[in-house]
Chain A
């Protein structure tokens, strides 16, 4: 998974063509850390179809809020730079993320 920061987010996500998944997380978010291995598994499964990225919001708080992310974990799928799907909190499960990807493919 590609690690993003506030400098690379625009280029890698908002200006990118195709599907880009962003895992919004932080070091202090334990549910995020528990979810991460499942997202990494999905990144292998959808290799070549979806670009998997993650953003540590600790250093990109304003950027996260600009994407209307105010809670973690949140997984957003972008298609050609536009939001194509989003799951957050209890709904941010491997099954739901996979369903969101399948819908967008």
Chain B
């Protein structure tokens, strides 16, 4: 079977593209390698998606998107894509399970949290180091937590973690938060939140679980070691220091910016005819659910136009 469109990734961008494509009666396949919904499903609170149901969470919002996409008849498969052939009229997308063929491809692979890149980080991931507050907050009930970063995500997740932890300390490389004013004000008023400014993580240490966090002050050059309180034995470290695009599969095929994000025009078109990019994987200024679904909608409408023009 040759699909009208193959969408790689089932986050908000991919699901919106699937919804629009299927509703336009295009034969539509959405491919996802692990969890449906992308990064937003690990977010507890989604307050800024217009029209979202009251007390929307990442999972509740995504559940509704999946429902809608399925109502219109988009097909969804779980497969890990290992190779793509994007040139020509028929594109080939090869997964671990099957090979799929389509007239158009919409790349919606998204981004993933950036690692700090310090010694001990990888070894102690899942052992006190975590990038998913909703997954792991519960472990740190009545323990201390350090959040690394100063953007919206870092500060919002710090406040979520403070519902569990005895104390949450935000470690930021600058002397002021980059987060939006409304979020900053809440954070500074929060009784469980503390701040360490101008500091970066040098190393994370521990024998099997996190025991020590080594910080370096960028201004004074001074290094401090934060030890787990003896009665606790450990503490949590949650880095939220930005994202990296998941575009490795398309290296050298489509144009990318210096950060590795895929460049498109305003119609989500890449330089390859019939290939589009949508959502966090795209080079753009605002990465939110609201911009992801917008990209997805535009991409599938353009995919439909492209197929028409090929007839």
Contact = CB atoms under 8 A, between A and B. Distances in A.
A and B interact physically: yes
B135 A72 contact: yes
Nearest to B59: A30
Given A68-B208, A88-B125, A28 B138 contact: yes
Interface residues of B, number: 28
Nearest to B37: A30
B125 A34 contact: no
B125 A33 contact: no
B166 to A, nearest CB: 14
Interface of A: 26, 28-35, 57-58, 61, 64-65, 68-74, 88-90
A22 B135 CA distance: 17
Interface string B94-137: 00000000000000000000000000000001111110101111
A71 B138 contact: no
A26 B138 contact: yes
Contact of A71 (B34, B37, B44, B136): B136
B36 interface: yes
B135 A26 contact: yes
A103 B34 CA distance: 24
Contacts of A69: 126, 139
Interface of B: 34-37, 41-42, 44, 58-59, 125-130, 132, 134-139, 141, 208-210, 234, 236
Contact of B139 (A32, A34, A64): A64
B134 A28 contact: yes
A35 B34 contact: yes
B36 A34 contact: yes
A71 B127 contact: yes
- A32, A65, A70, A72 interface centre (most CB from chain B within 10 Å): A70
Nearest to A71: B126
B34 A70 contact: no
Given A31-B35, A88-B126, A58 B138 contact: yes
Contacts of A31: 34-35, 42, 132, 135
9 contacts: A35-B34, A61-B139, A61-B141, A65-B234, A70-B130, A71-B127, A88-B125, A88-B127, A89-B125
Contact of B125 (A30, A32, A71): A71
9 closest A-B pairs by beta carbon, nearest first, are: A71-B126, A88-B126, A34-B35, A30-B41, A29-B135, A89-B126, A72-B135, A34-B34, A28-B134
